[in-house]
Amino acid sequence: MAKSKQAKDLDQWTGEEWGTKSGKPSTQGPDATGERYKPKADHADDSPQQTAAETRTKRSAGKRGEQYAKYKKPAKRQKIKSAMKSRKA
């Protein structure tokens, strides 16, 4: 039986290397930075301002006792979507 799209996406997701931009732990231990934990390939695309904003969001959520932080969509994705819309018009 072939895998569903969701199962394939999960396989890809679990195969990626994850971490913080600094390489230090995000939430556990004395060296925890409070940075966003995401696929390492995504860190390369982030501007310093975006990284700082994500870190502020994560630290703020942690202070409120929330396990998950809600992040805004990166500006890059919004630019791509607007470019695609203008091409269709």
How do residues 39-82 score in pLDDT, each as one tens digit?
A: 888 888 888 888 898 899 999 998 999 988 888 776 556 555 55
Task: Give the C-alpha separation, 25 to 33, whole Å.
Answer: 6
- Is 17 inside a domain boundary? no
- Is 59 inside a domain boundary? yes
- Is 21 inside a domain boundary? no
> Would you call 39 helix, strand, or coil by DSSP?
strand
Query: In which band, very low, low, confident or very high, does the pLDDT at 14 lie, cut at 50, 70 and 90?
Result: confident
The count of domains in the chain is 1
The neighbouring-strand residues paired with 18 are 39
- Is 5 inside a domain boundary? no
Q: Is the pTM of this model over 0.75?
A: no
Range of the domain at 79: 33-89
- Is 72 inside a domain boundary? yes
What local confidence, expressed as pLDDT, does residue 86 receive? Answer: 55
Task: Give the C-alpha separation, 89 to 87, whole Å.
Answer: 5
- Is 28 inside a domain boundary? no
What local confidence, expressed as pLDDT, does residue 61 receive? Answer: 92
- Is 19 inside a domain boundary? no
